[in-house]
Amino acid sequence: MKARQLEIPDKLWKDKRLPQETKYIYSYIYCKGFDRIITDINVGEIQQVVKIRNEGLRKSLQLLEELNYLIFKEYQNGMYTVKLN
């Protein structure tokens, strides 16, 4: 799945506090959970979009949570439940 700028809010693309890979991760989550409030992801899915390990994904999700873009919970190693704000 290719991330396009039109698929996610413009404020995210203009936010200088977020690294580019975190923007792609949010874009993937946003596209996957478009009509849903809560979605499940795992590291393997994200690795198809961005080369990342579980620690990097967790840090990106924590940054997005601090900036109030989403809320996440890791229920198993590498498996996350995400709620978009």
- Which residue range forms the structural domain that includes residue 57? 5-84
Compute the distance between CA of residue 5 and CA of residue 17 in angstroms, rounded to an integer.
17
Confidence (pLDDT) at 7: 60
Q: What is the CATH number of the domain that holds 62?
A: 1.10.10.10
Q: What is the DSSP code (8-state) at residue 67? A: T
Confidence (pLDDT) at 5: 44
**Each residue's pLDDT tens digit in the chain (85 positions)?**
454 444 667 788 888 999 988 988 888 888 887 777 788 889 998 898 889 999 999 999 999 999 998 999 999 998 999 998 8
Confidence (pLDDT) at 6: 42
| Count of the separate structural domains present in the chain | 1
Compute the distance between CA of residue 61 and CA of residue 26 in angstroms, rounded to an integer.
8
